[in-house]
Amino acid sequence: MGLTEARRDGFGANKPHIDAQGYCGQPADSLIAVPNRWNCRLSQRPQVVAAVSTAGRFSGRIELMIEHLRQLGRELGLDAVGIAPATEEVRRVYPWARSVVCAAISYLPPERPVSNNAPRGWVARFARSVDYHVVLRAKLDKLANVLASAGARTEICVDTNPLPERKLAVLAGIAWRGWNGCVFVEGCGSWVALGEVVTDLDLPAASVVEADRCGDCRDCIEACPTGAITAPYIVDRSRCLSHITQAGGVISDGMKAKLGDRIYGCDTCQEVCPQNGEVVPTTPEFAEDVFPGANPELMPLIELSKAEFDDRVRHSSIGWIGRNRIRRNAAIALGNVKRQPAPLLSS
Ligand code: B12
Ligand code: SF4
Ligand code: SF4
């Protein structure tokens, strides 16, 4: 691939999909090693954006390397890979950094109907399956090996606090921003997790695809239960229910009512988004729910002993917030679902 042209190998309409039965239904041109029932073909090319060449000493090798990263990203099941310059924020943390290889992966799980009428809570989609940090890090590790084999220094980041991951994804040309604050990737909508390999290699950065695709829509702003989207792209963390489910402390009565049945995260501003309308699950690793799943029964969660918590929840995507917060959220959800005061918790 020539580096003189910015290139986006989008695969929107051709993406494979996984339905509730775990069928991944599209023909494709490459297989990766996944458990048998997921031997679906992951044909779709991640959008690798390698743009205008710096035509430096290593340009020949760098071109090959970027092509290799692109190929590997596709084989690993990443949905987009692109290159951003190491911004000021990145260099504050890693002063040696020159470039950032940014990747996105769809975490969208299949929807499954629930089978009984017991009071249930709700978990956001990014936390229903196996922990995306683990899945993405393992894939980024392989991209990092490519860079390291060329003698580069690397650091893998997934959800690393001081890095502006959304901004980097936009600068890498793999994503654009929505007014709900989330970034969108072609074919995946905003149901993507982001990760990076920071490197000291000077890689050619991408053409930014930033575009306002929201137009006249204000659906997310209007749908947010707490008015947390205070202006386009700006989310007031203190009012965001995602934050409130994850943070410790006492939740005010006003916010308790707004939480509804949420016990971890909030997807409302993404669910209502027309840009997410046609998107389907595509990543085999996220096809199965992990305990407590999408709609856990609330009473068993509230009654979890410490030993049961350690055994069943601690290592799930939501376990890091600890037993007390999960039980607090479940108790509030139970009160909201049954329209009665939240039960008092014993320790
Ligand atoms: C703290 C945090 C939160 C906090 C605060 C979020 C917030 N908006 O402030 C809380 C707990 C509320 C939260 C919620 C969610 N989060 Co969060 N969160 C983070 C974290 C760790 C840091 C983000 C941060 O500091 N935000 C502060 C604000 C000011 O920064 P920002 O959102 O990045 O965007 C600002 C700037 O970067 C800049 N900017 C953004 N893009 C661009 C592009 C250009 C070109 C420029 C110049 C500037 C620019 O403008 C923005 C506004 O000032 C990141 C991981 C990371 N290191 O980035 C994940 C991350 C942003 N979260 C993520 C996810 C999945 C979520 C939730 C969807 C989870 C859920 N279902 O409950 C919600 C979405 C809520 C929402 N509408 O934003 C994903 C984003 C996926 C996506 N498609 O966008 C990330 C990247 C984690 C990951 N590695 O995948 N999150
Ligand atoms: S995640 Fe929920 S509370 Fe937070 S901004 Fe979106 S809709 Fe509002
Ligand atoms: S709901 Fe509308 S305004 Fe909000 S991010 Fe989606 S398209 Fe943009």
The string of pLDDT tens digits covering residues 77-122 is 999 999 999 999 999 999 999 999 999 999 999 998 888 889 999 9
Give the percent of the chain with pLDDT over 90.
Answer: 69
**Best CA proximity match to 119, nearest among 345, 324, 296:** 296
pLDDT score recorded for residue 136: 97
pLDDT computed for residue 341 by the predictor:
63
Ligand 3 test: best mutation among 185, 213, 214, most atoms within 8 Å of CB?
214
Q: Is 211 in contact with 178 (CB distance < 8 Å)?
A: no
Return the SS3 of 254.
Answer: helix
Q: pLDDT (tens digit, 9 = 90+) per residue, 116-145? A: 889 999 999 999 999 999 999 999 999 999
pTM for this prediction: 0.88
* CA angle at 190 for the pair 187 and 196, rounded to the nearest 5°: 95
- What residue's CA is closest to ligand 3, atom 8? 214
pLDDT interval class at 161 (50, 70, 90): confident
Phi-psi region of 215 (alpha: psi -120 to 50; beta: other; left: phi over 0): left
- Among the bound ligands, the one closest to the CA of 217: 3
SS3 346: coil
Residue 47, H or E segment: strand 47-49
Cis peptide before 292 (omega within 30 of 0): yes
How far does the centroid of ligand 3 lie from the alpha carbon of residue 217, in Å? 6
Ligand 2 pocket check for 124: Cβ under 6 Å: no
Delimit the domains of the chain by residue range: 12-116+126-199, 219-338
The ligand minimizing its distance to the Cα of 224 is 2
| H helix or E strand, kind and range, residue 270 | helix 268-271
Phi, psi at 229, each rounded to 5°: -90, 95
User: In angstroms, what is the span from residue 344 Cα to ligand 2's centroid?
Assistant: 27
pLDDT band at 59 (very low <50, low <70, confident <90, very high): low
Q: Phi/psi zone of residue 50: left (φ > 0), alpha (ψ -120 to 50 degrees), beta? A: beta
- CA of 219, nearest ligand number: 3
Which residue has its alpha carbon closest to ligand 3 atom 4? 220
Considering only residues 146 and 50, tell me which one the structure prediction assigns the higher pLDDT: 146
Residue 150 pLDDT: 87
pLDDT at 226: 98
Closest by alpha carbon to 101, among 32, 211, 246, 200? 200
Give CA separation, 40 vs 13, 35, 103, 129, 282, in Å: 16, 10, 21, 18, 10
Give 295-347 pLDDT, tens digit per residue.
999 999 999 999 999 998 877 889 999 999 999 999 999 999 986 666 667 66
Q: Is 179 in the pocket of ligand 3 (CB under 6 A)?
A: yes
Marked catalytic residue, from 159, 212, 310, 311: 159
| Bridge partners, 47 (sequence order) | 80
- C-beta 235 within 6 A of ligand 2: yes
Our mutation pick for probing the ligand 1 site, out of 108, 165, 219, 272, counting the most ligand atoms within 8 A of Cβ, is 165
Residue 196 Cβ contacting ligand 1 at under 6 Å:
no
Q: Residue of the nearest CA to atom 5 in ligand 3?
A: 178
Tell how many helices (H) and how many strands (E) occur in the chain.
11, 11
Smallest CA separation from ligand 2 atom 1, residue: 266
Is 159 catalytic? The answer is: yes
17 alpha carbon – ligand 2 mean position (Å): 27
Residue 343: predicted pLDDT: 66
**What pLDDT digit, counting tens, does each position of 15-45 carry?**
354 543 322 222 222 222 222 222 222 233 3
